[in-house]
């Protein structure tokens, strides 16, 4: 491994982005319940309070709505608050501030002041977390003009996208899937940026395109690997930016492979995949419309149950993607069973034993 690159977890890469941003810009402050606690938000803010002055790592009362409004206020004086919610559900208490205020501030004040604010929202499944701690609500935010909505998937893009988000002058919502904090990847040590608003082809291929974001990118890559042994060459596109949506990159891939599965993290109804499918067809020629085949997968249309025996039906994985691929390509892959791993669906890794 090169000296200027190291292998770290996504949690560590987020932490690096935060530390580097705070070093570079005195106005960057961390805000959220537990940002300075011993667990440091799944490790992403761990011990940052020991590097910087106390006032820059701001534990907050359980008052999400005011926390957001207060951060907006601070941002108007040049501060760059980075808020974090340990569960996306908590942020619902602050949607008034996010949707009515932050998203529209620049516009409704005639371009006089924008709200440079980053809000990290942790999504995803977990150890029997149940209906109120396991939603993936990206679609709600992606619907709102004035927000930028980013979704992380690898340690590499986490660092670059978070740094860009902190440098951005607008309110940026960042989705972090709980299952990703512990995955490892190579990350440059330096301060680097990945532009917001761009999708990325994370694996090239010619037979079928998998379009996805956040944790589902990992499942897509897993299925791509397996499909390779069946001689299917999969292209995987990581959406990365849900708003603005880089439909062009997705489009280019789908026009090439003629087949696509849109793999949604959250509910598909009125979800992220709906918009992508709509845009694709809107941009297709008549011929493409009839030859391109597009399907989607996502959690079923119900709240997420706590019990693992039912939660397992709610998180499509690489096998489901492969089965969808079989259907789409009208093929039958033999001995798929052998690719079944035995990591239970409620553990991000084998060592994980709850409770959170």
Partner 1 sequence: MKISKSIKIKLFREMLRIRLIEQTIASKYHEAEMRCPVHLSVGQEAIAVGVCQNLKKNDKIVTAHRSHAHYLAKGGSIKKMLGELYGKVTGCAKGLGGSMHLIDLNAGVFAAVPIVGSTIPIGTGIAWANKLKKKKEIVAAFFGDGATEEGVFFESLDFASLHDLPILFVCENNEYSVYSHISKRQSSKRSISKIANSFGIESLQIDGNNIEDIFLETKKIIDKVKSKSKPFLIELKTFRYLEHCGPNNDDKLNYRTNKYLNLWKKKCPIINYQHHLKKYNYLTTKEIEKMNMKIRAEIFHAFNFAKKSKFPEKILLKKYIYA
Ligand X SMILES: Cc1ncc(C[n+]2csc(CCOP(=O)(O)OP(=O)(O)O)c2C)c(N)n1
Whole-number Å distance between alpha carbons of 258 and 251: 10
Using rule CB under 6 A, residue 62 touches ligand X: yes
C-alpha of 67 from chain center: 22
Using rule CB under 8 A, residue 329 touches a second copy: no
Q: Which of residues 288-317 bind a second copy (CB under 8 A)?
A: 289-291, 294-296, 301-303, 305
Nearest CB to partner 1, comparing residues 108 and 291 = 108
Q: Annotated catalytic residue: which of 64, 89, 138, 176?
A: 64
Using rule CB under 8 A, residue 65 touches a second copy: yes
Nearest CB to ligand X, comparing residues 95 and 336 = 95
Using rule CB under 8 A, residue 213 touches partner 1: no
Kindly report the number of other CB atoms within 10 A of residue 13's CB atom.
28
- Which range touches ligand X (CB under 6 A), out of 85-93, 112-120, 173-181, 216-224? 85-93
Task: For residue 176, give both structure tokens.
Answer: 């972090």
Which of 26, 37, 47, 282 is close enough to bind a second copy by CB under 8 A? 282
Cβ atoms of 164 and 170 within 8 Å: the answer is no
Active site residue 133: yes
The maximal CA–CA distance of the chain, rounded, in angstroms, is 62
Using rule CB under 8 A, residue 147 touches a second copy: no
Q: Which residue is nearest to ligand X (CB)?
A: 90
Whole-number Å distance between alpha carbons of 332 and 196: 39
Q: Which does 111 bind (CB under 5 to 8 A by kind): partner 1, ligand X, a second copy, none?
A: partner 1
Q: Which of residues 232-271 bind a second copy (CB under 8 A)?
A: 242-243, 245, 266-267, 269-271
Shortest Cβ 238–a second copy spacing (Å): 18
Using rule CB under 8 A, residue 342 touches partner 1: no
Using rule CB under 8 A, residue 30 touches a second copy: no
Using rule CB under 8 A, residue 146 touches a second copy: yes
Q: Which of residues 290-329 bind partner 1 (CB under 8 A)?
A: 300-303, 305-310, 313-314
Using rule CB under 8 A, residue 69 touches partner 1: yes
Using rule CB under 8 A, residue 89 touches partner 1: yes
Residue 313, Ramachandran bin (φ over 0: left; ψ between -120 and 50: alpha; else beta) = alpha
Kindly report the number of other CB atoms within 10 A of residue 321's CB atom.
26
Which of 33, 162, 187, 237 is close enough to bind ligand X by CB under 6 A? 33
Using rule CB under 8 A, residue 277 touches a second copy: yes
Q: Annotated catalytic residue: which of 12, 16, 133, 177?
A: 133
Number of residues that bind a second copy (CB under 8 A): 51
Site residues (vs a second copy, CB under 8 A): 65, 89, 92-93, 95-96, 99-100, 103-104, 107-108, 130-132, 137, 139-140, 142-146, 242-243, 245, 266-267, 269-275, 277-278, 281-282, 286-287, 289-291, 294-296, 301-303, 305
Catalytic annotation, residues = 64, 133
Site residues (vs ligand X, CB under 6 A): 33, 62, 64, 86, 90, 93
């Amino acid at each position: 491994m090169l000296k200027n690159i190291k292998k770290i977890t996504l949690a560590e890469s987020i932490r690096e982005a935060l530390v580097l941003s705070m070093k570079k810009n005195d106005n960057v402050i961390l805000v959220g319940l537990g940002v300075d606690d011993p667990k440091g938000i799944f490790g992403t803010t761990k011990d940052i309070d020991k590097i910087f002055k106390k006032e820059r790592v701001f534990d907050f009362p359980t008052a999400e709505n005011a926390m957001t409004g207060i951060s907006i206020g601070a941002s108007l004086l040049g501060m760059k608050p980075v808020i974090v919610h340990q569960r996306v559900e908590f942020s619902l208490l602050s949607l008034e501030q996010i949707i009515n205020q932050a998203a529209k501030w620049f516009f409704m004040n005639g371009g006089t002041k924008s709200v440079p604010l980053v809000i990290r929202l942790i999504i995803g499944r977990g150890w029997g977390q149940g209906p109120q701690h396991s939603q993936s609500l990206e679609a709600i935010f992606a619907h709102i003009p004035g927000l930028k909505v980013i979704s992380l998937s690898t340690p590499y893009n986490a660092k670059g996208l978070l740094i860009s988000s902190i440098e951005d002058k607008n309110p940026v919502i960042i989705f972090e899937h709980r299952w990703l904090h512990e995955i490892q990847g190579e990350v440059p040590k330096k301060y680097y940026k990945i532009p917001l608003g761009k999708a990325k082809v994370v694996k090239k291929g010619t037979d079928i395109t998998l379009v996805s974001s956040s944790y589902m990118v990992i499942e897509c890559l897993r299925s791509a690997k397996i499909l390779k042994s069946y001689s299917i060459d999969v292209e995987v596109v990581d959406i990365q930016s849900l708003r603005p949506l880089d439909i062009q990159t997705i489009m280019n891939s789908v026009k090439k492979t003629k087949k696509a599965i849109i793999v949604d993290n959250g509910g598909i109804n009125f979800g992220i995949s709906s918009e992508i499918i709509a845009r694709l067809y809107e941009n297709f020629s008549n011929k493409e419309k009839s030859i391109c085949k597009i399907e989607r997968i996502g959690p079923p249309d119900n709240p997420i149950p706590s019990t693992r025996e039912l939660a397992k039906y709610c998180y499509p994985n690489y096998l489901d993607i492969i089965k969808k691929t079989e259907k789409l390509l009208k093929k039958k892959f033999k001995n798929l069973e052998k690719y079944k791993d035995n990591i239970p669906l409620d553990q991000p890794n084998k060592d994980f034993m709850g409770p959170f």
